[in-house]
Amino acid sequence: MQRGKGPIQVSKKVLVVSYHFYPDQAVGAKRPTELTKSMIEEGWDVEVITKHIGKEAHEARVSKDSIGQIYSIYQHPGIIDPLWALVKRVRGHKKGKAQTAVNPEIDQARETQVGETLRFRLKRYIISTQATLNACKSWVLASLLFLLYLKVSGRHYDVVVTSSPPSSSHLIGLTAKWLFKATWITDIRDPINMWEEVLPVCKSRLREKVETDLERKYYKKSDALVVTSPSLKSELCSENRVDNNKVHLIYNGYDGELKPKNKKNNNVIRMIYAGTLYLNRDPFPVFEALKELVAESIINEKLFIFELFGNCKSWNGINLEDWLNENAICNLVEIHEYITGKELEKKLEAADILLNLAQGQKKQIPAKTFEYLRFRAVQFLVSEPDSDISIFLSSNKFGVVAQSTKEDVKEKLKTILSEVRNQRGLASEAGDDRKLLYARAEQNKEYISVIKNAG
């Protein structure tokens, strides 16, 4: 195959590297899996390096021709994680009960390095070392060794596509580019390093240097970088970090067809949140707003239900079910475990309001945003007004945005409730033409075009 300037030739052998991949339920698995399907439909020969997640998953991967040849690489648990699990069990046994809390003591974890205790410094060195390369170093090492095996076996790849997070997949891509002299496409869904959000207990000068130097090298050696939000593209192109022509904005997109609105059998208004509550995804402005709306008789408890599906029983160590009981809105809010994709789809089709929490994610547009676009419900976003996701929804008239305060959430909910009750259609079919632009199939066409013209 000839190389040089201009588009890559039509026939391609592609290697995709992604820590998460089908049938992994992690949100990060969807983008590389669907891109792989699109490349195979294009007639390309695609192979994938990903994490081994069990026998059943491996069999599912082997039996699915539409996602190419999958190499599932085992990740050894290491030493620190099992030892820490053992320590927690021993502590729990000594106290006569299990240690169920998984969040660190926030105050201790945020202790500054100025005047830190010897114990905290030792803890910081251990944890920061464990966190370097996203705590999946054994998978990276095994994958690098497997790359060498592929090279010795005579494998050749024209294109390497690496997807993050975790960003350690790009280290594998950097090596693959060098081994196979391939065109390298770096897919970045979230900023690679966000040191301002890392707790001091997870930082060290060594970790910051290693990961910052690697980040610079990824940008320099990549033939093209693909990002999922405008701010991330602007950040990469600022201060001449990366050539503007090298960075491409391609959204996550939604899968499948736009769904019609299910006919309502009653007057009950249904609001749904699907996913996990973690870090800045604070549900309390919504809970507190609902409490006041009930007290003011704007919401009738018999005619409104808010359901959460997923890992939603606690947030940053706070038991949400206890809080709902103590604040007398447990009849209004129901928390469920994860359900199957088909079951969730039926729930979303019947919903009137779809809640999206994206506080503190100014440079990111969560994949849930696009998944919600398929349904006729009103997408209700709680985020900063200048975040990428807020601007995206507002500019396209895809939803209603509130700041993360009880007062603003309350006012925006009142407006939404009024519209839903009067059936004036905040979620009408008027915006379908715009929504079609963000179907994953359309986004993947752009992605394939980027790959064809890279190099």
What residues does each domain of the chain span? 13-76+134-253+440-453, 269-436
pLDDT, tens digit, 9 for 90 and up, residues 40-80: 999 999 999 999 998 888 888 887 877 889 999 998 876 55
pLDDT class of 97 with cuts at 50, 70, 90: very low
**Residue the block writes with tokens 């099992």:** 82
- Alpha carbon distance 199, 206 (integer Å): 15
Q: Supply the pLDDT for residue 3.
A: 43
Mean pLDDT of all residues in 138-159: 96
The type of residue at 76 is H
Average pLDDT, the chain: 87
Cis, bond preceding 166 (omega within 30 deg of 0)? yes
**What is the predicted pLDDT for the residue at 383?**
98
The architecture CATH gives domain 13-76+134-253+440-453: 3-Layer(aba) Sandwich (3.40)
| DSSP calls for 360-404 | T-TT---HHHHHHHTSSSEEEEES-TTSHHHHHHHHHT-EEEE-S
Are the folds of 13-76+134-253+440-453 and 269-436 the same?
yes
Nearest by Cα to 176 from 292, 49, 74? 49
User: Tens digit of pLDDT for each residue in 17-44?
Assistant: 999 999 988 888 999 999 999 999 999 9
Q: What percent of the chain has pLDDT over 70?
A: 87
Average pLDDT over residues 395-410: 97
Residues of the chain with pLDDT > 90: what percent?
65
Which pLDDT value is given to residue 101?
A: 39
pLDDT at 78: 63
Least confident interval from 54-63, 155-164, 304-313: 54-63
**Residue for token pair 């095994």:** 142
Quote the pLDDT of residue 81: 56
Q: Give, in words, the CATH class of 269-436.
A: alpha beta
CA 191, 197, 202, 203 torsion: positive or negative? positive
What type of residue sits at position 1? Answer: M
User: Which of 118-132, 234-248, 291-305, 398-412 is predicted least confidently?
Assistant: 118-132
Tell me the average pLDDT across 442-452: 97
d(CA 388, CA 364) in angstroms, rounded, equals 6
**Distance of alpha carbon 275 from alpha carbon 252, whole angstroms:** 17
Please provide residue 379's backbone torsions phi and psi, each rounded to the nearest 5 degrees.
Answer: -85, 120
**Would you state the pLDDT for residue 98?**
39
Higher pLDDT, 184 or 199: 184
Question: Measured between alpha carbons, how far is residue 110 from residues 8, 63, 80 in Å?
Answer: 49, 47, 21
pLDDT at site 439:
97
Asked if residue 420 has pLDDT above 50, the reply is yes
Q: Give pTM, 2 decimals.
A: 0.84
Residue 230 burial (C-beta neighbours within 10 Å; 0-12, 13-18, 19+)? middle
Looking at mean pLDDT, say which of 51-60, 120-129, 205-214, 292-301 comes out highest.
292-301
Q: How far apart are CA 416 and CA 380, in angstroms?
A: 9
